[in-house]
Chains A and B, each alone.
Chain A
Amino acid sequence: MSRRFTPKIVTANLLREGDVVYLTADDRWSPLHHEAELIEDEAHAQMRLLHAAAQKLLVVGAYLADAKPGPQGPEPTHFREEFRTRGPSNYNHGKQADLAH
């Protein structure tokens, strides 16, 4: 019996900086979750994960995280992934500071 596939994005941390990044459809690593490629097909997800894991000089610990479509692009569905999009709640550090204009 087949289950419905929950859409995924590929995420990892940059090897040098440790920053959270997301794999885009055009093979970039973006700091923005909504720029990630939203993957709706399980086989494609595995292919993209392999592609990410092969970039050993760029990223560490690539994995597939659940996501859902949103008006700007993919959005996280779990609070852990939501925290990863912005940084810690006790200081204005991480993405919430780095990406603020």
Chain B
Amino acid sequence: MYSYSDFDEAFVRARVAQFTQQVERRLDGSLTEEEFRPLRLMNGLYLQLHAYMLRVAIPYGSLNPGQMRQLAYIADTWDKGYGHFTTRQNIQFNWPKLPDVPAILGALADVEMHAIQTSGNCVRNVTADHFAGAAADEIADPRPYAELLRQWSTDHPEFQFLPRKFKIAITGAPNDRAVTRAHDIGLRMVRNAAGEPGFEVMVGGGLGRTPMIGVTVREFLPEADLLPYVEAVLSVYNTLGRRDNKYKARIKITVHETGAEEITRMIEARFAELRPLFGGNDQKLLADIREAFAPPAFRNAPVDAYDAFYAADPVFRAWADTNLTAHRNAQYAIVTISLKAHGETPGDATSTQMRLMADLAEKYGHSDLRISHEQNVILPHVHKSDLPTLHAALTQAGLGTANVGLLSDIIACPGMDYCSLATARSIPVAQELATHFEALKLEHEIGPLKIKISGCINACGHHHVGHIGILGLDRAGVENYQITLGGDGTEDAVIGEKTGPGFAYTEIVPAIERILRAYLALRLEPSETFLQAFKRVGMDPFKVALYQSEGAQDAA
């Protein structure tokens, strides 16, 4: 894992000192709120519905055990003993007090973490495949590139005041687990005809009020061209982007208004100018960074104990079937720890749970932890012989839920329980969906299903790319939930289609049940997933189930 250079360390410490003084000046009245607000946002500090919220970057979702323990310490010392992992691989603390924030930032700096560029119109935390460096289908580990992009974009003087925020996601595998097509820039590793690795570059994806799938501006970008090319994209956007209208300021609108062909031409022209200015130092830096991401020393040991336990223990088997993913080393597995216990808040972990996960990562996981955009925690390298012990320890801490990829593995934004932008609640809808279907014992029968819930049109909950998406709105002073179906966040990215009129808070869970009962009735066989069935039959049968059955009169 990458460790801060002296330069990184000095930069982060200097920022903590600077913000410490800014907070002091705000508290003594030297700075007005209007002056202070952009300064606190540059350091990830928001004022939400009930309290301040501090958003801390977890670059490309990677944490070491010491960092995870420090997050637990921060949660206990200055917050309410928990943290919320988000769809952008950040962690949010929901209850910090303003005078304490400098100390929190200092504690983060102690473990090489910060909250810089987690807000504002700049390049945000670069996100990556949470299985990076472990996945069996990977061409190359995307984290060195993500780290290179992080260093390049941090405090980049040209890109601190972009027309709007800018999100980059990167995956090293052809199977896209990082929703790259829904980012301002999506980078997907591919090989060219000569077998060399490079990137498919997608630009102008994004969810929010105008959801769009990114367009490919380069089918194959050699890896050595990554920084000049990304800089060219940012540069073109910085010039063309609409600063006159916040709702038209994202690059997706720029791409749409300029046209894919013309913007591609402009990016290539700018790239031709920039390329010669990169004299190779970026590649030297990349080589150094890459060394920091060398694979761990994998253990060579028998896996018979795992096989025997798998055969003997049905609880362990159920967990292994849903929460394990194939590792490139056949003796190993990638473990997804579900932060979606039925009835709990998606993405939340208590300080006790954080400490346990840190301990387990140290003991069984080569000291590597990841946060997924699906709001779970990953131990990317666990030897199969350790899995039974690991599972037992997780279960004791309420972290053994066997539901990854199933109905209750729901993405939910904080919604109106915390967020000042929200138009409705998301968390209680996720909680009730999970407990309702758990009581019906239908979750495993329904099989793979991604439900994603956002509490406003900004779509932090990725509802557009949920197989079932739920969007909470304020309709004449009442919470109302709109459903979309058929969304997909993978390499085959699709924006879901609206079913029709929305449903009241008390009606949304029954509505989802009608959709899923319709699916169970119409699927050709149990192996046909909800998404496959939707692609085959289309919207109509689900509309009939939603609106023409009992309860239709409640639809608003």
Q: Identify which of A11-19, A22-30, A33-41, A44-52 touches chain B.
A: A11-19
Q: Give the chain A neighbours of B425 by CB distance below 8 A.
A: 83, 89
Q: Give the chain A neighbours of B478 by CB distance below 8 A.
A: 79
Q: How far is the CA of A16 from the CA of B51 in the complex (A)?
A: 10
Q: How far is the CA of A87 from the CA of B33 in the complex (A)?
A: 24
Closest A residue by C-beta to B346: A90
Q: Flag if A84 contacts B33 (CB, 8 Å).
A: no
Q: Flag if B99 contacts A90 (CB, 8 Å).
A: no
Q: Flag if B47 contacts A93 (CB, 8 Å).
A: no
Q: Flag if A18 contacts B51 (CB, 8 Å).
A: yes
Q: Flag if B98 contacts A15 (CB, 8 Å).
A: yes
Q: Give the chain B neighbours of A95 by CB distance below 8 A.
A: 50
Q: Flag if A90 contacts B50 (CB, 8 Å).
A: no
Q: Flag if B51 contacts A19 (CB, 8 Å).
A: yes
Which chain B residues numbered 340 to 362 have a C-beta less than 8 Å away from chain A? 345, 348
- Whether, in the assembled complex, A78 has its beta carbon less than 8 Å from a beta carbon of chain B, the answer is yes
Closest B residue by C-beta to A66: B477
Question: Which residue in B47, B417, B474 is a CB contact (below 8 Å) of A90?
Answer: B417
Q: Flag if B417 contacts A83 (CB, 8 Å).
A: yes
Closest A residue by C-beta to B37: A60
Question: Which residue in B47, B345, B416 is a CB contact (below 8 Å) of A61?
Answer: B47
Q: How far is the CA of A57 from the CA of B31 in the complex (A)?
A: 10
Tell me the minimal C-beta distance from A42 to chain B in angstroms: 21
Q: Flag if B33 contacts A94 (CB, 8 Å).
A: no
Q: How far is the CA of A2 from the CA of B428 in the complex (A)?
A: 41
Chain A positions 44 through 71: 1 when the CB is less than 8 Å from some CB of chain B, otherwise 0: 0000000000001100110000000000
Given contacts A56-B29, A89-B427, A93-B80, contact A18 B418 (CB under 8 A): no
- Whether, in the assembled complex, A10 has its beta carbon less than 8 Å from a beta carbon of chain B, the answer is no
Q: Flag if A56 contacts B33 (CB, 8 Å).
A: yes
Q: How far is the CA of A16 from the CA of B345 in the complex (A)?
A: 27
Q: Number of B interface residues, CB 8 Å?
A: 31
A-B Cβ contacts below 8 A, count:
76
Q: Flag if B50 contacts A94 (CB, 8 Å).
A: yes
Q: Flag if A15 contacts B27 (CB, 8 Å).
A: yes
Q: Flag if B33 contacts A90 (CB, 8 Å).
A: no
Q: Flag if A78 contacts B431 (CB, 8 Å).
A: no
Q: Flag if B428 contacts A17 (CB, 8 Å).
A: no
Tell me the minimal C-beta distance from B46 to chain A in angstroms: 10
Given contacts A60-B33, A61-B33, A83-B49, contact A17 B417 (CB under 8 A): no
Q: How far is the CA of A60 from the CA of B36 in the complex (A)?
A: 11
Q: Flag if B427 contacts A90 (CB, 8 Å).
A: yes
- Whether, in the assembled complex, B95 has its beta carbon less than 8 Å from a beta carbon of chain A, the answer is yes
Q: Flag if A90 contacts B98 (CB, 8 Å).
A: no
Q: Give the chain B neighbours of A17 by CB distance below 8 A.
A: 51, 97-98
Question: Which residue in B47, B96, B477 is a CB contact (below 8 Å) of A60?
Answer: B47
Given contacts A19-B51, A60-B47, contact A93 B95 (CB under 8 A): yes
Q: Number of A interface residues, CB 8 Å?
A: 25
- Whether, in the assembled complex, B395 has its beta carbon less than 8 Å from a beta carbon of chain A, the answer is no
Q: Flag if A18 contacts B52 (CB, 8 Å).
A: yes
Closest A residue by C-beta to B414: A88
Closest B residue by C-beta to A97: B80
Given contacts A89-B428, A90-B417, contact A20 B477 (CB under 8 A): no
- Whether, in the assembled complex, B443 has its beta carbon less than 8 Å from a beta carbon of chain A, the answer is no
Closest A residue by C-beta to B425: A89
Q: How far is the CA of A19 from the CA of B478 in the complex (A)?
A: 25
- Whether, in the assembled complex, B77 has its beta carbon less than 8 Å from a beta carbon of chain A, the answer is no
Q: How far is the CA of A83 from the CA of B49 in the complex (A)?
A: 9
Q: How far is the CA of A80 from the CA of B423 in the complex (A)?
A: 8
Q: Give the chain B neighbours of A19 by CB distance below 8 A.
A: 50-51
Q: Give the chain B neighbours of A93 by CB distance below 8 A.
A: 50, 80, 94-95
Q: Give the chain B neighbours of A90 by CB distance below 8 A.
A: 345, 348, 417, 427-428, 431
Which chain B residues numbered 76 to 97 have a C-beta less than 8 Å away from chain A? 80, 94-97
- Whether, in the assembled complex, B225 has its beta carbon less than 8 Å from a beta carbon of chain A, the answer is no
Closest B residue by C-beta to A80: B416
Q: Give the chain A neighbours of B348 by CB distance below 8 A.
A: 90
- Whether, in the assembled complex, B110 has its beta carbon less than 8 Å from a beta carbon of chain A, the answer is no
Interface centre among B47, B49, B431 (most CB of A within 10 A): B49
- Whether, in the assembled complex, B479 has its beta carbon less than 8 Å from a beta carbon of chain A, the answer is yes
Closest A residue by C-beta to B98: A16
Given contacts A57-B29, A93-B95, contact A84 B417 (CB under 8 A): no
Question: Which residue in A57, A78, A84, A94 is a CB contact (below 8 Å) of B477?
Answer: A78
Q: Flag if A56 contacts B98 (CB, 8 Å).
A: no
Closest A residue by C-beta to B31: A56
Q: Give the chain A neighbours of B80 by CB distance below 8 A.
A: 91, 93
Q: Flag if A87 contacts B50 (CB, 8 Å).
A: yes
Binding site for B on A (CB under 8 A): 13, 15-20, 56-57, 60-61, 77-80, 83-84, 87-91, 93-95
Additional A-B contacts beyond A13-B47, A15-B33, A57-B29 (17; CB < 8 A) = A15-B27, A17-B51, A17-B97, A17-B98, A18-B52, A19-B51, A60-B33, A60-B47, A77-B477, A79-B479, A83-B425, A87-B50, A88-B50, A88-B94, A89-B427, A90-B417, A90-B427
Closest 7 pairs (CB-CB, A-B)? A88-B417, A18-B51, A18-B52, A94-B50, A90-B345, A90-B427, A89-B428
Binding site for A on B (CB under 8 A): 26-27, 29, 32-33, 47-52, 80, 94-99, 345, 348, 416-418, 425, 427-428, 431, 474, 477-479
CB pairs A–B below 8 angstroms (22 shown): A13-B47, A15-B27, A15-B33, A16-B27, A16-B97, A16-B98, A18-B47, A18-B52, A19-B51, A56-B29, A57-B27, A61-B47, A79-B478, A80-B49, A80-B416, A83-B417, A88-B50, A88-B417, A88-B418, A90-B417, A90-B431, A93-B95
